[in-house]
Amino acid sequence: MSEAFKITKDLPLVLKVEDLMPILSIGRNMAYELVRSGQIHSVRVGRSYRIPVNALEEYLRKSSR
């Protein structure tokens, strides 16, 4: 998924950390920091992280307050 999404309904149910980068306009290090710190909830699948799209929505709601 290389294109940036404008509306969350267009997103898949689960995102990779790399998918956060264009969505949030952040770099790789910041994306991993948000996930590793727990600011964005994620699930470990093997050696990689997966982010439920509702966790991204929750992060954005909290950040906009």
Among 49, 46, 47, CA closest to 15: 49
Which of 26, 27, 19, 24 has the alpha carbon at shortest distance from 3?
Answer: 19
Inter-CA distances, 1 with 15, 30, 48, Å: 9, 18, 16
Check whether 4 has a pLDDT greater than 80.
no
Q: What would the pLDDT profile of 37-54 be if each residue is shown by its tens digit?
A: 999 999 999 999 999 999
Q: Which of 9, 22, 18 is nearest to 53 (CA)?
A: 9
Average pLDDT over residues 11-22: 93
Q: In the numeric block, which tokens belong to residue 29?
A: 């290090």
Helix (H) or strand (E) holding 50: strand 48-52
- The model's pTM is 0.81
